[in-house]
Structure 1
Amino acid sequence: MTTLTDITNLDDIKLLVDTFYSTVQKDTFIGPIFNEKIGNGWPEHLEKMYHFWQTILLEVHSYSGSPFPPHKQLPVAKEHFERWMEIFTETTDNLFLGPVADEAKFRAKNMAEMFNYKIEYFRNAAKQNPHQ
């Protein structure tokens, strides 16, 4: 049996991101949304995610940008974020063990909750002000 270790370097980040998104792409609930949005851009998306998680977890500042805007118009609801989080947690727990892995799950949960809240906020604002 393999002993799990913590996330410590870019190779660990790549393993987490690649494994996670491989599962997402095949998921019958959220996979179609990701595949429709990303299309043939998976290599670029994965590269961006490596830098994002490397910046968040390893304090290597390789990501710049704002992660929310590309998600603003996605046809998603709370259930989609819950499924995303379920896959992320399961992937992380299957691959890693330690404080950085825990931090990854904590950050992912906060991000999912914030994105869901913001998407709902913008949808509600658009309904109240349809001409803006």
Structure 2
Amino acid sequence: MVILDITTIEDIKLLVNTFYGKIQKDDLIGPIFNEKIQGRWPEHLETMYKFWQTILLEQHTYSGSPFPPHKHLSVNQSHFNRWIEIFTKTVDSLFIGILAEEAKMRGVNMASMFLYKIEYFRDLQKTTK
């Protein structure tokens, strides 16, 4: 079922719920998310609704810094590649349009930045020991 484009909070919820439903079951990155989030999935999903609503719909409902909770995760390029793959396929399976394309671009950029920062802090810890 492809909907034209991402235009409402209901579209954001569909994207986030579908994406994280796949993430939770994924063999590579599912265990990392499930261990980190544990029983707090409803709160995490609510935060993700607000995050993507702010990014894509320019309705400023999210405040905070998305990177710190990810800073100490034991992840590498393969984990981010899988995240991007699942995210892109999820967007493509649900939406077509300018904001759908922006969502994919933002996802790739965010994954690249997170990986860079995680590796930076990991390297920094090695040099300070």
Relative to the length of structure 1, the TM-score reads 0.96
* Other-structure match for 1:55: 54
Letter in 1 for 2:72: Q
Q: Deviations over 1:12-71 (max 9, x none)?
A: 000000000000000000000000000000000000000000000000000000000000
* Other-structure match for 2:67: 68
* Other-structure match for 1:107: 106
Q: Deviations over 1:63-90 (max 9, x none)?
A: 0000000000011001100000000000
1:126 is aligned to 2:125: yes
* Other-structure match for 1:20: 19
* Other-structure match for 1:82: 81
Structure 1 Cα separation of the partners of residues 41 and 90 of structure 2: 19
The number of aligned residues is: 129
User: Contact 2:80–2:111 (CA<8 Å) still a contact in 1?
Assistant: yes
Structure 1 Cα separation of the partners of residues 27 and 39 of structure 2: 19
Moved over 4 A (4+): none
Q: Percent identity?
A: 65
Relative to the length of structure 2, the TM-score reads 0.98
Letter in 2 for 1:27: D
User: Contact 2:24–2:33 (CA<8 Å) still a contact in 1?
Assistant: yes
* Other-structure match for 2:97: 98
1:11 is aligned to 2:10: yes
Q: CA RMSD in A?
A: 0.8
- Give the superposition deviation at 1:4: 3.4
SS of the residue 2:65 aligns to: coil
